[in-house]
């Protein structure tokens, strides 16, 4: 099952607008979207699904790679996110569908999709149900490319330790929270009890007839400044608990003041590419 709180806040305009603005101002989601879209082999695609597409960062990457004739369907269950995306992403090839990822098969033709791409969101779904839906809609030979944050997958790229020169911003936030408000939250972004290791993913995919054809642990290089901007989005703000957003921003500012804005940070991702087997005679 998906985490109970996985989608809380995503259908609120404040979160959606802040998230969409972040995707345009910072390269993190553009880079991960382009990575996945490239692995999905879209050069000859006619129909591609952007699953859990949010405000359209991944749809942009897909639209850059598919032929002019192709159609892209962006599926997300948060109408606020799609409203934010529609204001800046207008392309006649793109259709927005407001629906849970688990209901994908109700909105696109069975065995008619060339590829499904899901960036930074598969952990928020009931993965067994989503994988089954993806299997139903993919054509034989169609690809499913998605990624899982290193904290959820239980993986870490070597670069993550190699570039570290001091405490992480998350650790500094916990210390600032204790200093300012007398509390420490052990719940931080990317450190979730809802683990999704490759073994579980592979088993769930196989149960639906999808085979893993490629995996890789990649490093997304960023800066403290970009990390701070990401943590300023209300839905990501730390620490969790009964604090207002203004209080969380006070904590974030105090923590960030102990860093160097351009100091490097690294986020690890497990990238998975699965495929529906080719039809046999």
| Per-residue pLDDT reduced to its tens digit, 202-234 | 999 999 999 999 999 999 999 999 999 999 999
Phi then psi for residue 255, to 5 deg, are -70, -45
Asked whether the CA dihedral 139, 71, 123, 38 is positive or negative, the reply is positive
Cis geometry, peptide bond prior to residue 94 (ω within 30 degrees of 0): no
Asked whether the CA dihedral 82, 86, 87, 89 is positive or negative, the reply is positive
pLDDT higher than 80, residue 251: yes
- Tell me whether strands 264-275 and 138-149 are parallel, antiparallel or unpaired: antiparallel
SS3 22: helix
Q: Which structure tokens are listed for 53?
A: 């597409």
pLDDT per residue as tens digits for the range 74-98: 999 999 999 999 999 999 999 999 9
Instruction: Give dist(CA 270, CA 148) in Å, integer.
Output: 5
Instruction: Give dist(CA 193, CA 196) in Å, integer.
Output: 9
Q: Is 138 in contact with 116 (CB distance < 8 Å)?
A: yes
Per-residue pLDDT at 280 = 64
Alpha-carbon dihedral 200, 220, 57, 120, rounded to 10 degrees: 20
Which residues, in sequence order, are CB contacts of 169 under 8 Å at separation 6+?
Answer: 224, 227, 228, 231, 255, 256, 259, 265
pLDDT higher than 90, residue 188: no
Q: Is 81 in contact with 108 (CB distance < 8 Å)?
A: no
Q: Which domains are assigned to the chain?
A: 13-160+192-222+265-275 (3.40.50.150)
Where do we find the tokens 């699953």? 51
């Amino acid at each position: 099952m998906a985490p109970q709180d996985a989608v809380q806040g995503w259908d609120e305009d404040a979160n959606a607008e802040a998230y969409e603005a972040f995707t345009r101002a910072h390269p993190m989601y553009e880079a991960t979207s382009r990575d996945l879209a490239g692995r999905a082999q879209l050069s000859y695609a006619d129909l591609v699904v952007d699953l859990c597409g949010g405000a359209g960062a991944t749809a942009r990457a897909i639209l850059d790679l598919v032929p002019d004739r192709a159609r892209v369907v962006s599926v997300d269950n948060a109408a606020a996110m799609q409203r934010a995306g529609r204001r800046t992403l207008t392309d006649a090839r793109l259709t927005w569908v407001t629906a849970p990822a688990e209901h994908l098969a109700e909105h696109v033709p069975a065995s008619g999709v060339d590829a499904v791409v899901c960036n930074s969101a598969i952990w928020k779904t009931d993965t067994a149900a989503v994988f089954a839906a993806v299997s139903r809609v993919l054509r034989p030979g169609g690809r499913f490319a998605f990624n899982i944050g290193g904290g959820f997958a239980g993986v870490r790229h070597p670069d993550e330790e190699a570039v570290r020169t001091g405490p992480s911003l998350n650790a500094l936030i916990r210390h600032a929270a204790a200093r300012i408000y007398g509390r420490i939250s052990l719940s931080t972004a990317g450190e979730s009890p809802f683990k999704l290791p490759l073994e579980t993913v592979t088993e769930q995919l196989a149960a639906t007839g999808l085979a893993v054809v490629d995996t890789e642990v990649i490093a997304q290089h960023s800066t403290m400044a970009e990390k701070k901007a990401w943590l300023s989005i209300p839905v990501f703000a730390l620490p969790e608990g009964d604090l207002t957003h203004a209080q969380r921003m006070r904590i974030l500012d105090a923590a960030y003041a102990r860093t160097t804005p351009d100091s490097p940070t690294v986020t690890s991702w497990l990238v998975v590419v699965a495929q529906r087997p080719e039809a046999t005679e």
